[in-house]
């Protein structure tokens, strides 16, 4: 078969890119390793930056988000069971949208169905051929058949473990990584959120985060050692530990319940350079991972899609390849700034095994400075709502 853009990966990045390209009359075919049901069942982040919100609206998939999503004008930071608020709206004029990635993926699937776009689920043996020529090709196996797509470009939106990044020669690719010595134990519960906005809590026992998906669905996290397993944590143990780490007033009003999902996620910072090799482009987790402390994972994927979409439109509509040539450098400039922010938030709020008494004092001093400095709060707010594209 033949298409203009072969997109490997049917998560939010791949689906959003296909939707934006379709609106400009650019054809694409999507390949996804998992089933549709599996993709829609994945529990992921739900904080969407200002720029990503606008991009989703531009893609024509923002109607339900605007109707059901929660606009947040700030967050709470807490230390030693006492919190203070960072007011995004007052400091920057911006906000974020809380809307679950599962819901967003559902909306993007609906849009893909409406456009009648070609999408293959449960594919394997995906291979990218001749990406460094002007005639790339993607081969794969689907339902017992060997298939192939001839295309102009390949967009690798297939995540950290996908084939796209691995298709770039080792002599070309550079990887930068930091693995953190702890994980996040996450619980999803059908309970009202403890706060109207997210609470990021630093505590001597470890970090905690109070988040939400909607007014009746809450998401909570605890920093735990990497060697811990989900089986070690009963629901009662989780709620008791969460109460120990968050502000006293929140602990008193917290509504606990049976967990409907519980998992432990490791944390890492990772960047691959370059994000383009010939006619192969990396998008989202295929090129970079951030610790979730800064709420940047989905949002970085959205900015990658924005840059690639604009570059491909210029190619097809104007015969201008400047955006294609500069895609990697442009995307990486924003990515490294988001990596810095996510790393700094992680360092600020977590307990590290090798922290000295001096390190702990500096951590406390930084939080106290944030509480009293408008300049420091403005910097945090600018980064949290999202740097401009």
In this predicted model, what pLDDT tens digit does every residue of 230-246 receive, in sequence order? Answer: 999 999 999 999 999 99
The residues with which 277 forms a beta bridge, in sequence order, are 280
The one catalytic residue among 200, 221, 306, 307 = 200
User: Which of 214, 314, 221 lies closest to 266 in space, CA to CA?
Assistant: 221
Helix (H, G, I), strand (E, B) or coil at 194: coil
Domain residue spans in the chain? Answer: 5-70+96-177+269-346, 180-267+352-385
Mean pLDDT for the stretch of residues 329-346? 98
Q: Is 72 a catalytic residue?
A: yes
Q: Is the separation of the CB atoms in 198 and 209 below 8 Å?
A: yes
The one catalytic residue among 72, 203, 315, 350 = 72
Q: CATH topology for 5-70+96-177+269-346? A: FAD/NAD(P)-binding domain (3.50.50)
Q: Is 296 a catalytic residue?
A: yes
In this predicted model, what pLDDT tens digit does every residue of 121-166 receive, in sequence order? Answer: 999 999 999 999 999 999 999 999 999 999 999 999 999 999 999 9
Mean pLDDT for the stretch of residues 57-86? 96
The one catalytic residue among 296, 307, 327, 350 = 296
- pLDDT of 42 above 80: no
Q: Is 292 a catalytic residue?
A: yes
In this predicted model, what pLDDT tens digit does every residue of 181-218 receive, in sequence order? Answer: 999 999 999 999 999 999 999 999 999 999 998 889 99
The model carries a pTM of 0.95
> At the top level of CATH, which class does the domain 180-267+352-385 belong to?
alpha beta
Rounded CA separation 68/114 (Å):
21
Residue corresponding to tokens 């319940």: 257
Helix axes 101-115, 12-23, angle to 10 degrees: 40
Share of the chain above pLDDT 90, in %: 94
Mean pLDDT for the stretch of residues 45-74? 95
Residue corresponding to tokens 């924003």: 334
- pLDDT of 110 above 90: yes
- pLDDT of 168 above 90: yes
Cis peptide before 210 (omega within 30 of 0): no
Rounded CA separation 300/290 (Å):
9
Residue corresponding to tokens 């979409």: 309
Q: Is 315 a catalytic residue?
A: no
- pLDDT of 43 above 80: no
Q: Is 22 a catalytic residue?
A: no
pLDDT tier for residue 351 given thresholds of 50, 70 and 90: very high
The one catalytic residue among 136, 193, 291, 292 = 292
């Amino acid at each position: 078969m033949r298409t203009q853009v072969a997109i490997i990966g049917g998560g939010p990045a791949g689906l959003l890119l296909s939707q934006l390209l379709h609106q400009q009359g650019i054809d694409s075919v999507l390949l996804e390793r998992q089933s549709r049901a599996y993709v829609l069942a994945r529990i992921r982040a739900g904080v969407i930056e200002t720029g990503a919100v606008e991009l989703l609206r531009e893609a024509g998939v923002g109607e339900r988000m605007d109707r059901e999503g929660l606009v947040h004008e700030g967050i709470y930071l807490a230390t030693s069971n006492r919190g203070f608020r960072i007011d995004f709206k007052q400091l920057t004029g911006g906000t974020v949208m809380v809307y679950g990635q599962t819901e967003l993926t559902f909306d993007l699937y609906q849009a893909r169905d409406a456009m009648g776009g070609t999408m293959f689920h449960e594919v394997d043996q995906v291979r990218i051929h001749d990406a460094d020529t002007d005639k790339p090709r993607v081969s794969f196996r689907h339902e017992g058949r060997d298939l192939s797509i001839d295309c102009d470009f390949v967009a690798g939106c297939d995540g950290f473990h996908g084939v796209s990044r691995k298709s770039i020669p080792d002599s070309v690719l550079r990887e930068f990584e930091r693995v953190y010595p702890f994980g996040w134990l996450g619980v999803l519960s059908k309970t009202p959120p403890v706060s109207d906005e997210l609470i990021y809590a630093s505590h001597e026992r470890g970090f905690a985060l109070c988040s939400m998906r909607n007014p009746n669905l809450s998401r909570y996290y605890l920093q735990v050692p990497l060697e811990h397993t989900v089986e070690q944590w009963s629901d009662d143990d989780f709620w008791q530990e969460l109460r120990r780490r968050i502000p006293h007033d929140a602990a008193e009003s917290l509504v606990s319940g049976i967990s409907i999902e519980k998992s432990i996620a490791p944390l890492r910072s990772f960047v691959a350079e370059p994000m383009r090799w010939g006619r192969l482009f990396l998008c989202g987790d295929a090129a970079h991972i951030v610790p979730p402390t800064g709420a940047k994972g989905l949002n970085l994927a959205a900015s990658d899609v924005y840059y690639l979409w604009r570059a491909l439109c210029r190619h097809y509509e104007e015969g201008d390849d400047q955006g294609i040539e500069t895609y990697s450098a442009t995307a990486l400039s924003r990515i490294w700034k988001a990596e810095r922010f996510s790393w700094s938030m992680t360092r600020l709020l977590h307990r590290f095994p090798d922290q000295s008494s001096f390190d702990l004092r500096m951590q406390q001093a930084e939080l106290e400075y944030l509480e009293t400095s408008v300049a420091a709060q403005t910097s945090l707010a600018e980064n949290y709502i999202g740097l401009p594209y």
